[in-house]
Amino acid sequence: MKFLFDSDTWQEIYGSIRKNKTRTAITIIGVLWGIFLLVVLLGAARGIENNFNKIFGSFATNSVFVWTQSTDTPFKGFQKGRRFSLTLRDVEILKSEFSKEIRLLAPRNQTNNLIIKDFKSGNYQVSGDYPVLDKIQKKDLMYGRFLNDNDILSDAKVCVISEDMYKDLFDKGDKPIGQYLKINSINYKLIGVYKRSTGINFDGNAAYIPFTTFQKVYNRGDKIDWMMITANEGINIEQMEADVLLTLKNLHKVHPDDKRAFGSVNLGVEIGKVTGFLTGMQFLTWFVGIATLIAGVFAIGNILLITVKERTKEIGIRRALGATPISIRRQIVLESVFLTTVAGMLGIVFGALVLFGIDSMIGSGDDAILINPTVNIPIILIAFLTLTVLGSLIGLIPAYMATIVKPIEALREE
């Protein structure tokens, strides 16, 4: 191993690399391109993944939403086309029957109303909610707090509004907390302002008031518009969705095969499609990257083989002067390892620069396509190591070819 640290070894390699500028350049480009592509593709894939994570991040992704429509099959004396509503009783029954499967359940009521603050006003969605909503659809609060159990118990006339509504209804610099907003001619005390959601959001700009307050003010009784359900870890969410719907159909005297009576969206399934796509994309990235890398390494081998043919005479001279076969092989293998290493490092550097460029151009802001496009250091190290090993293996072929001929035959070569 001593020869590795011998300046003479490197002097020889430097000499022969400098002599053959074109082939050095081509070789380096081959491998550089491979590892560059691998880095950029992996980084881009990571960026897209991060973007999806951001979109879904604030939302419990194992959620099912259920609402009612109208029946499409006559059942138990009811005609088809019957309209009906979910009720709080359904919520209680589901909670007790699916206590193992359901983690959180949020019944919701929504309407649209004019909201007035002094001389400013606007039409916004008003939503009656339980505090549990915050756990399903995370609210990031700029000021104050979200609804709590006390608000529910006391039917408090309090509300939480969005950042955009705050900007619409308040003067700049105005302190929002504790001020009063008039919704449907009733004054509500403002207790919180939440930031605009960067991810998926089913409410838009909504003012949240306590569920119980909504019930009374809008005279809903125990009817609810829809409900959000999230499942416990490890629960088959599609199975749970089907079971919940069947229970609800039974409660509301709906035919078990009725397709229209209940509407539902399974967020888990929708996200599963996206993550499946992501996995496919990552596989493709690896495949393309590694294939390019291998092609690059073969290019090195090929070029080395050609140059060994070109250099047969030089190798013959060296052998006449006393170069042992092992020193010739060592030099050629080291040349190939050196070239792959340099090319690999350059590829990583250029790849990182491109990722940095992507990041600073389209990697930030609310509508960023690629967020924080990065590549794991261990992955890069493994790729780099593989490259070096392949480089030395491929270098062995021309090295072997260089020493297999008798020195006199090598010398005769013109």
Distance (Å) of CA 372 to CA 21, 159, 239, 284, 375: 37, 36, 36, 20, 10
Separation between Cα atoms, residue 129 and residue 25, nearest integer Å: 66
C-beta of 10 vs 166, nearer to another protein: 10
C-beta of 26 vs 323, nearer to another protein: 323
CB of 278 to another protein, least distance (A): 51
C-beta of 95 vs 406, nearer to another protein: 406
C-beta of 114 vs 326, nearer to another protein: 326
Binding to another protein (CB under 8 A) within 277-316 occurs at 313-314, 316
Please identify which residue in 157, 318, 380, 391 interacts with another protein, judged by CB under 8 A. Answer: 318
Report whether 302 contacts 392 (CB < 8 A): no
Separation between Cα atoms, residue 383 and residue 292, nearest integer Å: 12
Which span sits near another protein by CB under 8 A: 3-11, 205-213, 244-252, 368-376? 3-11
CB of 23 to another protein, least distance (A): 13
DSSP track, 165-224: HHHHHS-TT---TT-EEEETTEEEEEEEEEPPPSS--SSSSEEEEEHHHHHHHTT-TTEE
CB of 327 to another protein, least distance (A): 7
CB of 393 to another protein, least distance (A): 22
Contact between 12 and another protein by CB under 8 A: the answer reads yes
CB of 389 to another protein, least distance (A): 26
Please identify which residue in 184, 324, 364, 376 interacts with another protein, judged by CB under 8 A. Answer: 324
Please identify which residue in 46, 117, 157, 319 interacts with another protein, judged by CB under 8 A. Answer: 319
Q: What sign does the dihedral 192-195-196-202 (CA atoms) show?
A: negative
Length of the chain (residues): 414
Distant-in-sequence, close-in-space partners of 196: CB < 8 Å, separation ≥ 6? 162, 163, 164, 366
Please identify which residue in 326, 382, 385, 389 interacts with another protein, judged by CB under 8 A. Answer: 326
Q: Is 124 helix (H, G, I), strand (E, B) or coil?
A: strand
DSSP track, 245-286: HHHHHHHTT--TT-SSSEEEEEHHHHHHHHHHHHHHHHHHHH
Q: Tell me which residue of 69, 104, 94, 97 sits closest to 83, measured CA to CA.
A: 69
Contact between 25 and another protein by CB under 8 A: the answer reads no
Report whether 270 contacts 63 (CB < 8 A): no
Kindly give the pairing relationship between strand 120-129 and strand 206-210: parallel
Separation between Cα atoms, residue 79 and residue 86, nearest integer Å: 19
Contact between 79 and another protein by CB under 8 A: the answer reads no
CB of 346 to another protein, least distance (A): 24
Please identify which residue in 121, 179, 327, 392 interacts with another protein, judged by CB under 8 A. Answer: 327
Which two tokens mark 81?
A: 């086309």
Please identify which residue in 122, 144, 199, 325 interacts with another protein, judged by CB under 8 A. Answer: 325
Which span sits near another protein by CB under 8 A: 139-147, 302-310, 324-332, 391-399? 324-332
C-beta of 220 vs 319, nearer to another protein: 319
Q: Which residues here bind another protein, judged by CB under 8 A? A: 7-8, 11-12, 15-16, 18-19, 313-314, 316-327, 403, 406-408, 411
